[in-house]
Structure 1
Amino acid sequence: MEKTRKENLKEARTLQIWNVIYDVIEVVVSLIAGITANSSALIGWALDSTIEVISAATLGWRLHGELKGIDEEKVKRRKKITLNVIAASFTLVCIFISYDSITKLINKETSSWSTLGIVILLVSLVVNPILIYYKRKYGNKLESPALLADAKDTFICLYQTVAVLTGLLLVRWLGWWWADPVAALLIVPYAAKEGWEAFSKAKDINHDVK
């Protein structure tokens, strides 16, 4: 039996709730691991995951709004506020990661081994593909560009997970002290791009919202 739009909206909202819960766990664990191991890559990954929390929570907020039947003007206002917050957050992430990584490269600082960090990265390699699959599924069913874009963001997060994991393993196995800060710097171009896009989209909404 074909599900109604309302049923799909409820399931998509539930998906975003679980997404937020997992991302919060991911942020806390990776921050603890990153600070303990002095790993720029893990800390940068944790900060980027914080943006994922904001994005997923906002999307869930918007889906909830549609379920409750709020008008289009209120949806636009919610989106505008969130996009500006995301843009500002990405800017701060870029500044922090760049400063921290370049400082460690200059001082030739290396990170310590972090079993906790490796565990959360490996868990993320399993969880993120599942989230991507269901976000695409409901994005197509609801014809929602926002959900499909969120799936893309999660895919990029998956790529970053691989980059950070590779950096930590190179430090461990080959003694490449520079691999950790370099892995962190790989996050910066994506964060800058996403921050600019969020700012541009917020500006476009400004023309529509009075």
Structure 2
Amino acid sequence: METTLQAPVDKQWTIATGLALFTVLYNIGEGIVSLYFGTHDEALTLAGFGVDSFIEVVSGLGILAMIARLRRFGSKNRGNFERLALRITGGCFYVLVAGLILGAAFSIWENQKPETTMAGIVVSVLSIAIMRVLAWWKIRTGEQLHSAPIIADAKCTMVCVYMSVVLLASSVLYEWLHLPYIDGAGMLGLAWFAFKEGQESLEKANGVETCCGHC
């Protein structure tokens, strides 16, 4: 009977592992592409989006490490480990916020204009399509496993969707109007979402034992 009950849980952990692994691999590719075209075309919003992709990689690696640990040692000290994963994710977002604000200030001060934002349009449309499905699947899996870090990681992915919308809007507006400061404004938009997500991750870290204590 115990084996029968355990099988669905093991399946959900396997799904969570696959989702985290896909997150890592996809965001490595997205980050490299975004940083390359962002720096090449001087599109700082796209470059900032690329940095966010690597934060997604950190979050995904944290989830993979958490799953491996749980499968090896069970739920012993699970709350402490999940709290650490949440704090790492939140801290990474705060670092991103600082970088985006400095980048936006530089862009506005120097009246910097991208050569083109077409790469941003392509990257953002692809990200919106893929990340929405990925975030939904992560939330569903995290709720079934009662795992706050997996749910937080899902919301991190959902923030990537919001950031993709900001990137798409700023890229389309600049490609259409070629007005100054649009790229800087896009970076400030990314900074806002990054700050909110970092704040939520750290708040959840303070209450993770309550969320997961029954698991």
Q: TM-score, normalised by structure 2?
A: 0.83
- For this pair of structures, how many residues does the alignment match? 205
Deviation at 1:77, TM superposition (A): 4.8
Q: Partner residue of 2:58? A: 54
The Cα shift of 1:83 comes to 4.1
Distance 1:169 1:147 in 2: 33
> Is 1:140 matched with 2:153?
no
Match of 1:127 in 2: 130
Alignment CA distance shift 1:162-1:100 (3 Å): same
Moved more, 85-94 or 43-52: 85-94
State the secondary structure of the residue aligned to 1:4: helix
Structure-2 change in CA distance of 1:157 and 1:201 (3 Å): same
Match of 2:190 among 187, 190, 199: 187
SS of 1:23 mapped into structure 2: helix
User: How far is the alpha carbon of 1:193 from its aligned partner?
Assistant: 3.1
Residues in 2 aligned to 1:76 and 1:189: alpha-carbon distance in whole angstroms: 29
CA distance in 2, matches of 1:116, 1:82: 32
Q: 2 CA distance for matches of 1:201 and 1:143?
A: 13
Match of 1:25 in 2: 29
Structure 2 vs 1, CA of residues 32 and 136 (structure 1 numbering), >3 Å: closer, same or farther?
A: same
Residue of structure 1 equivalent to 2:116: 113
Distance in 2 separating the partners of 1:83 and 1:148: 10
1:145/1:80 CA distance change after superposition, 3 Å: closer
Give the conservation status (yes or no) of the 8 Å contact 1:44–1:184: yes
8 Å CA contact 1:10, 1:67 repeated in 2: no
Note if contact 1:132-1:155 (Cα within 8 Å) is conserved in structure 2: yes
Aligned-partner residue type, residue 107 of structure 1:
E
Aligned equivalents of 2:135 and 2:90: distance in 1? Answer: 23
CA shift, 1:67, in A, is 1.9
Aligned 8 A contact 2:38 2:45 in 1: yes
Deviates more, 1:106-115 or 1:80-89: 80-89
Deviates more, 1:143-152 or 1:193-202: 193-202
SS at match of 1:177: coil
Decide whether aligned partners of structure 1 residues 13 and 42 sit closer, same or farther in structure 2, where only a CA change above 3 A counts: same
Q: Would the alpha carbon gap of residues 55 and 186 (structure 1) be closer, same or farther in structure 2, given more than 3 Å must change?
A: same
Q: 1:196 to 1:139 in 2, by over 3 A?
A: closer
- C-alpha change, 1:46 and 1:99, in structure 2 (3 Å) is same
Give 1:178's match in structure 2, choosing from 156, 177, 181.
Answer: 181
SS of equivalent to 2:113? coil
Report how far residue 163 of structure 1 moved: 0.7
Given that 1:39 and 1:181 are in contact with CA atoms closer than 8 Å, whether structure 2 keeps it comes out as no
Structure 2 runs not aligned, ≥5 long: 209-215
Deviations 1:22-71 (A, max 9, x none): 01111111010110111121111111222111112111221222222345
| Partner residue in 2 for 1:208 | none
Determine which of 159, 169, 173 is the counterpart of 2:172: 169
For the residues of structure 1 that align with 2:177 and 2:188, how far apart are their CA atoms? 20
Give the corresponding residue for 1:36.
Answer: 40
Deviations 1:89-120 (A, max 9, x none): 33332222111211211222111214433322
Q: Which moved more, 1:90-99 or 1:127-136?
A: 90-99
Whether the 8 Å contact between 1:29 and 1:117 is mirrored in structure 2 is no
CA root-mean-square deviation: 2.5
CA distance in 2 between partners of 1:7 and 1:169 (Å): 42
Contact 2:156 2:197 in 1 (8 A): no
State whether residues 128 and 155 of structure 1, in contact with CA within 8 Å, keep that contact through their aligned partners in structure 2.
yes
Number of the residue aligned with 1:65? 69
In structure 1, the residue matched to 2:15 is 11
